[in-house]
Structure 1
Amino acid sequence: MFRDITSNLGLKITALLIAVAIWLYVSQSQGPEVTKSFIVPVQTRNLPENIANTTTLPNVTVTLRGSKILLEKIREENINAYVDFLDKKQGKDQVFVKVDFPQTVRLVDIDPNVVSVDLQKLQEKELPIVVTYYGQAPAGITLGEAQTDPKRLIIYGPSQGLSNIKEVHVKVNRALVKEGSNRFSMSYDLVDNNGKPVKKSTLEEMKIRPKFDTISVEIKSSSKQDIKTVGVIANTTGTLPTDRVITEIDWAPKSITISGPYATISKIESIYTEPYNLNGILSTTSVMVPLSIPLDVSADASEVRVTIKIEPLSRKKLNLYVDVKPTDKQYEVIDRIIEVTFQGPSSIIATLTTASATIDVSGLLQGEQNVKVQISGLPDGITVLQTPTVKVKII
C-alpha cells in the first residue's frame, strides 16, 4: 500500500502544487470574501385574480456574502424579494419573505424576513354620480337638472375598502353656466360614507370601470322672466333741407311694457324707435315707426306714432340799442344802434320784435377798438346769423 502511495510521487506532488496554485489564483483574482446589503421592495407571487393584499409591503434589507469582485457586480435589480401567496386564504397572516439572487454569492440575512399581509376578496360596487355646485349663478339664470356621461361608475377592489365608498362627486362652478345647454368635462372625487374624499391610499387598491379621467356633465339652464315698464325715445337720422327746421318731435305712447329674460330686461332703461330718415322732408309729418326691440324681449307695442313738426326758416332784421357794462369807465360808443339779422322758424320769427344787445368794456384798454355785441333774450330756435360788432373808444 505504501508502495502505491509513493508510486509516481513526483507526478502527484506536481498535481497538488498545480491545484494549490489554481486555488490561490482564483482567490487572488476574485478578491477576499465580503458582505454587502441591498434594499429592495417586496413583490407578490401567485396572488389569485380575485384576491388583493390590502397592506403595503415594506422594503427589506437583503445581505449577501461572496467575493468582493462578484458582489460589486450585483445591483438591486438583480435581487427579487417576494412573498408567495400560493394556497393562502383570506384574512390577516404573517408570511415569510423569499429572495431570488445570483448563485455566485451566498444569502446571509433578510430583514425583516416576515411581513404582515391582509388578503381580501375583490368585489364590484356600482356608484352613483352626484353633481354638486359651488359659486354664484349669473343673475337671472335658473339651473336645470344635470346629466352625466357616464351615468354611473363601477369600482372594483377589496371588499373592506368598497364598503366605505358611497358615491362619486363632480363639482361644477355655477358662475360658468350660461343660458341654454352647457357641457363641462370635470374631474371627480370618490366620497366615503361621511361625505369626505376617499384617501389616495385606498384608491390605489381600486380599479374604476369604465376608466375615465373626467366625467362629462350637461346642464340646461333658462333665464328667469321679468316684466318692466320703460320709456320710448324717438330716433331720427338724416338731415332736413337747409331751409327747413324741426320745431317739435312728439310720439305716442311715451312708454311701453316689456318682458323677457331677467338678464336682458334688467339692462334695458328705454326702448328706441328704428331710425326715421329726415332726408327730403319739407313739412310736418306723422308716421308709425317700428320699435327696436331685442329678439328675446316681448313688448305690448311694436311701433309708435312719431309726429315731426317742420317749418320753413325765415329771417328778420331788427335795430337794437347797445347797452354797455360796466358803466364805471369813461367810454364812447361810436354807433349804439345796430342792425342784427335773425333766423328761425317762420312762426317764431313772426313774433320776434326785440332782443337785448350788450357789450362788456371791463377789460378794454384806452383807445378805439371793435367789440363783439352779445345778443340775448331770444326765443328757442332763433339764432343770430352774424355776430355784430361796434366801435368803442375808451377815454
Structure 2
Amino acid sequence: MGGGLIEQLRDIWAGWLQFGVGDSTRWLFLAIDVIVLGLVIFIALRAFNTRRTLAYLGLIGVAVAILITTAYLRLPGLHLFSQLALIVLVIGYPIYFRERWQNLFGRAGAPGSPQLGENSPLSQVWLGVISLVSSLMITFVAEGINARTSELPGQVKLSAANVPEGMSANFGSVSGVSAIIRAPRDAWSSIKPESFTASVDVGNQAEGTYDLKVAVNTTLQNVEVVRVKPTRVVVTIEPVIKKTLPVVVKFSGQAGDELVPDKPIVDPEKVEVTGAKSVVSDLTQAVVQLNLGGETNTIETKLSVVALSPSLLPISGISFEPSEVFLRVPLVKAGQHKTVGIKPVITGQPASGYWVKTVIIDPSVVRVTGPVDNLEATTEIPTAAISVDGLSQTAKLTTALDFPSGIIPTQALAKYTATVEIAKTTATKSITPEIIYDGLSPSLKVVSINPAQVSVIISGESLILEPISGPEVKLKLNLSLFQSPGNYSVDLKNSDFVLPQGVGLVSFLPSAISVTLESK
C-alpha cells in the first residue's frame, strides 16, 4: 500500500506541482475542490480544538507518515510497527477504552471531559493554515489515485498547418515538443508519442519569421494534454525549391575474404531534391549508405537516398525523386593497406575574443584499404564537421570520419575524440598616449614639445585592447633634470610608459622628444 501511494505522490509532484496545470481549465475545478475541502477541515478542527484531541489526531498523522516513509525506504520492522499503531489508535482505542475515547472528544456531560471552546491551543489563523495545507495534500493525493499526470515519454513530432502553396515551414533545431498529460493509470503502458500530434497554425502567412503557439492533440479517450513544452516556437516560412544532385555512395563495415568495394554503379546517377530554400541551396550531393557485412559476391540492392549534414547526420524535411536508387557494387581484392592522417574539419566561430589554437584528433591516424587507384589518391581522411560555436575554453568533443567512396577503414572506431584548444585572441593597437610632465620644477613651465604627439603600439588580448584609447596609456616625461629655461632633448624609455593591466608595450616613436622650458 505504502509503495503505491509513494508512486502516486511522485506522479502528482511531476504533473501538478512541478509542471503546473498549464493551459488547462482544470485548475478552476481543482480550486473549488481545495476551497470546499479546506472549509470542511477547518470546521472539524475548530470543533475539536483541544490539546488532547489534537494530540490524538497528530499521533494518527505521524503513524500514517511513518507507514508511507517505511514503505518507500523498505524498512519492514518500522512498517509493521506503524501498521499496528494505526490499528490501536483507530480501532483498538475506541473499542477497549470506549469511555476514555468519548471523553477525549468531549462527550457532553461526561465528568472530566474537555468542553468545546475551552483550552483551545490553536488560533483561528493557525487552524486556517492547517486546513488549507491539509486540503491541498488530500486533493493532490486524490488526483493521483486513479489517474497519473506526468511527462509523455518521448517527444511529439512538430508540424505546420495552413502553409501557403509553394512554401515550407522551417523550425530550425526544434524537431518536436514535450507534453505533460493526464491519463488513467492502466492506460499509460499503451500511450506513445505517435498517438499525439503537435502543430503550429501558420495561417497562410507570407514569407518571413513568426513566433507561433504550439497545439498538441490526441484521439485517445480519457487522455488530457495538460501542458506543452515549449509553448511557442519560432517558424521561418520560406520558398520550396528543387535541385539536382549527384548520388554518392558511403560505405561502412567490411566485406569478407579481404575484399573491398570497387567503383559502385548507381542508377540513376542523379536525383532531384525538394525542400526549403535555406536547406536545399547548401546541398552538394545526395547519399546512399551501404553497410557491408561480410559479403563475398557483387552486391546488388536498392537503397533510400538521404542528405547528410556536415556532422554526417540525416537531414529531415526534404524529399527526393526518385527516393530510391539501384546500386551495384563489385567486390575486388584489396590492393594494400595504408595509414593516413586525419584532417579536422572545423565549423562555426568561438566566443568573441577567442580563437581555435589547435585541434588534436585521437587517434591521429587511421589505417584504410580499398582499390589501388582509390588508395593511391587518398592522403588524409576528413572528420565530420566539428562545431566550435560559442566555445570560450578548451573542450573535448566526439566526431566521426567522412570516408570517401571506395575507401574503408581496416578497423573502424565508432567515435574519435577531438580536443579543441581555445585561446584568447591577442592583437596589437596603435594609440596616442597622454603625456604627463614628471618632476617639472615649480618655477618652470613647458612652452612646447616637438613632436607634439608620440605614437605607441601596444599588445594584449582583444577583449582588453578594444576599449582602450589614448588616456588609458600615460607617458611620464621625466623633466626633473632640468632646472633652468632652455631647449632640452629627452630620451624615451619603456619604463616611461604606464600601461593598463594585461597590456604590453611593442614599440614607440619617436625615441626622443625636444622640450622648450621657460620661467613662469
What TM-score do the two structures reach when normalised by structure 2? 0.25
Greater gyration radius: 1
Greater per-residue strand proportion? 1
What TM-score do the two structures reach when normalised by structure 1? 0.31
